[in-house]
């Protein structure tokens, strides 16, 4: 019944010429050899260029060889595959380099002395000094921000999930979304405008307020997701026993989802701990130890990194300190992340799905 055209255009056999399994490796090896040849021959010094030439040759070679042997469709499939691999490997380079350099350069001056001393009278271009003041500042600012941001965020999420219908809830939902997109520097400028009105000087808590603003929407979103995972049957079971709603929320809903909520808060803390811009505007930076977040300029880890980089006019000692502080900051953020994920896995609500 089929038209002749249809049958003609299709391959009648199940077998089609195909490249052997090892061909991608062979093409890859070939392109690397040729790339090295070109690199040496043309005297290219940058090994990144060698790599790029090899990648380009690999993609082109794959396409030419595959379309000659297997036909256009297979060639397209193969070129897509090789492009994906190349994209993946190319993207790995900067990301691996980032982690590798931070660790390698960071461990140079990262020792107990570094962690327990401030910059004090050490000039930015000289070796010595540490990040104790920055750690204190960061912990205080982030801690205070969490004390404000986390409860407001969790309560707002409870309102949205447990109570909120109607216009107010819709407005809150909408503006939480909007708030998620606020650049950190804008949050900083907002607090700054308040401080300009009150004619205040920089102090740690001002930074906390800006960080709290950045934290709230993140906590609302993650807590909302977690509360929605609590099955309605649980709430109904409790309400049916005559337990008032607020006790149901406190005793049934929150305990069920506490793992996920904690995870969300920790991820939010990890995010704000790395914020530099609002701290730069509001806390100003300080090379001495200031334990009081409510008065006087403070330091914070991310700001410390920035200032060591930008105010030291290229001194190696300052760069070393910047890397060491980066490593400390990354370690802090990663530990928070890993712990948060651990809690999420450990306390994951069993939804019976």
Partner 1 sequence: MDMTKTTDVPPPAPQPTADLKKSANRGATRAGDRVFLGLSRGSGILLLVIMAAIAVFLTYRASLAISKDHGNFLTTFEWNTNLVPPSFGIAVLAFGTVVSSVIAMALAVPVAVSIALFLTHYAPRRMSGPVAYVIDLLAAVPSIVYGLWGALILVPHLNGLFGWLDEYLGWTGIFSWQGGAPRSMLTVGILLAIMILPIITNVSREVFRQVPRMHEEAALALGATRWEVIRMSVLPFGRSGVISASMLGLGRALGETMAVATVLSPTFDIQTSLLDPGGGTFAQNIASKFGEATQDGRDALIASGLVLFVITLLVNGAARAIIARRKEYSGANA
Partner 2 sequence: MAKRIDVSGLTAYYGSHKAIEDISMTVEPRSVTAFIGPSGCGKSTFLRTLNRMHEVTPGGRVEGKVLLDDEDLYGTGVDPVSVRREVGMVFQRPNPFPTMSIFDNVAAGLRLNGNYRKNELNDIVEKSLKGANLWNEVKDRLNKPGAGLSGGQQQRLCIARAIAVEPKVLLMDEPCSALDPISTLAIEDLIGELKERFTIVIVTHNMQQAARVSDRTAFFNLAAVGQPGRLIEIDDTERIFSNPSVQATEDYISGRFG
Using rule CB under 8 A, residue 306 touches partner 1: yes
Using rule CB under 8 A, residue 344 touches partner 1: no
For residue 113, the partner it binds in partner 2, partner 1, none, with Cβ less than 5 to 8 A by kind, is: none
- Which range, of 6-14, 29-37, 212-220, 241-249, touches partner 2 by CB under 8 A? 6-14
Options 4, 14, 198, 240; binder of partner 2; rule CB under 8 A? 14
Options 223, 276, 298, 299; binder of partner 1; rule CB under 8 A? 276
Q: Which residues does residue 284 pair with via DSSP β-bridges, in sequence order?
A: 298
Using rule CB under 8 A, residue 123 touches partner 1: no
Q: Read out DSSP for 33-53?
A: HHHHHHHHHHT---HHHHHHH
- Which range, of 2-10, 35-43, 140-148, 212-220, touches partner 2 by CB under 8 A? 2-10
337, 273, 1: which is closest to 141 by C-alpha? 273
What's the token pair of residue 12? 């009648």
Using rule CB under 8 A, residue 246 touches partner 1: yes
133, 268, 272, 140: which is closest to 204 by C-alpha? 140
Residue 174 CA to residue 182 CA, distance in Å, equals: 13
- Which range, of 17-25, 147-155, 254-262, 342-350, touches partner 1 by CB under 8 A? 147-155
Shorter beta-carbon distance to partner 2: residue 80 or 334: 80
176, 156, 172, 191: which is closest to 275 by C-alpha? 191
Using rule CB under 8 A, residue 5 touches partner 2: yes
Which positions from 67 through 96 interact with partner 2, judged by CB under 8 A? 73
Q: Angle CA(303)–CA(306)–CA(312) in degrees, nearest 5?
A: 125
Least CB distance to partner 1 at residue 257 (A): 15
- Which range, of 14-22, 40-48, 140-148, 304-312, touches partner 2 by CB under 8 A? 14-22
What's the token pair of residue 277? 């811009």
Rg (CA), the chain: 29
Using rule CB under 8 A, residue 21 touches partner 2: no
For residue 200, the partner it binds in partner 2, partner 1, none, with Cβ less than 5 to 8 A by kind, is: none
Shorter beta-carbon distance to partner 1: residue 119 or 192: 192
Using rule CB under 8 A, residue 182 touches partner 1: yes
Residue 204 CA to residue 295 CA, distance in Å, equals: 7
DSSP state of 3: -
Q: Read out DSSP for 249-260?
A: IIIIIHHHHHHH
Using rule CB under 8 A, residue 16 touches partner 2: yes
Tokens 């404000």 found at:
148
**Residue 309: C-alpha distances to residues 65, 87, 95, 331 (Å):** 50, 31, 20, 19
> 72 exposed, middle or buried (CB, 10 Å; 0-12, 13-18, 19+)?
exposed
Options 16, 26, 68, 73; binder of partner 1; rule CB under 8 A? 73
- Please count the residues of this chain forming the interface with partner 1, following the rule CB under 8 A: 104
Options 4, 240, 352, 353; binder of partner 1; rule CB under 8 A? 240
With beta carbons less than 8 A apart as the criterion, state whether 39 and 50 touch. yes
What's the token pair of residue 250? 């406190």
- Please count the residues of this chain forming the interface with partner 2, following the rule CB under 8 A: 15
For residue 69, the partner it binds in partner 1, partner 2, none, with Cβ less than 5 to 8 A by kind, is: none
Using rule CB under 8 A, residue 190 touches partner 1: yes
Shorter beta-carbon distance to partner 2: residue 79 or 195: 79
Least CB distance to partner 2 at residue 11 (A): 6
Helices 72-106 and 47-69 sit at what angle, rounded to 10 degrees?
160
Contacts of 296 (CB under 8 A, 6+ apart): 201, 202, 203, 286, 290
Options 3, 46, 313, 351; binder of partner 2; rule CB under 8 A? 3
Options 7, 45, 193, 313; binder of partner 2; rule CB under 8 A? 7
- Residues near partner 2 (CB under 8 A): 1-3, 5-7, 9-11, 13-16, 18, 73
């Amino acid at each position: 019944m089929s038209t002749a055209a249809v049958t003609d255009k299709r391959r009648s056999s199940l077998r089609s010429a195909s490249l052997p399994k090892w061909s991608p490796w062979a093409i890859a090896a070939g392109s690397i050899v040729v790339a090295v040849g070109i690199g040496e021959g043309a005297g290219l010094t940058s090994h990144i260029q060698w790599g790029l030439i090899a990648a380009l040759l690999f993609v082109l070679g794959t396409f030419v060889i595959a379309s000659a042997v297997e036909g256009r469709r297979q060639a397209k499939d193969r070129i897509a595959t090789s492009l994906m691999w190349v994209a993946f490997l190319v993207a790995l380079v900067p990301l691996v380099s980032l982690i590798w350099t931070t660790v390698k350069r960071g461990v140079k001056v990262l020792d107990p002395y570094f962690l327990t001393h401030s910059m004090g009278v050490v000039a930015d271009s000289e070796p010595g000094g540490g990040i104790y003041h920055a750690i204190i500042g960061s912990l205080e600012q982030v801690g205070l921000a969490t004390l404000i941001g986390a409860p407001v965020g969790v309560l707002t999420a409870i309102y949205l999930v447990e109570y909120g219908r109607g216009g107010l809830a819709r407005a809150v939902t909408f503006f939480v979304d909007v708030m998620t997109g606020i650049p950190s520097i804008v949050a900083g400028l907002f607090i700054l405008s308040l401080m300009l009105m009150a004619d205040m000087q920089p102090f740690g808590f001002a930074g906390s307020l800006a960080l709290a603003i950045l934290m709230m929407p993140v906590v609302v979103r993650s807590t909302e997701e977690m509360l929605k995972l609590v099955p309605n049957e649980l709430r109904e079971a409790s309400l049916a026993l005559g337990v008032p709603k607020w006790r149901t929320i406190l005793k049934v809903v929150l305990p069920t989802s506490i793992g996920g909520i904690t995870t969300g808060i920790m991820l939010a803390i990890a995010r704000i701990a790395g914020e530099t811009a609002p701290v730069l505007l509001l806390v100003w930076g300080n090379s001495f130890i200031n334990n009081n977040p409510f008065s006087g300029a403070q330091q914070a880890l991310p700001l410390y990194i920035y200032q060591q980089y930008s105010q030291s006019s290229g001194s190696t000692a300052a760069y070393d300190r910047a890397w060491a502080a980066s490593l400390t900051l990354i370690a802090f953020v990663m530990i928070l992340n890993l712990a948060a994920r651990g809690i999420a896995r450990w306390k994951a609500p069993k939804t019976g799905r």
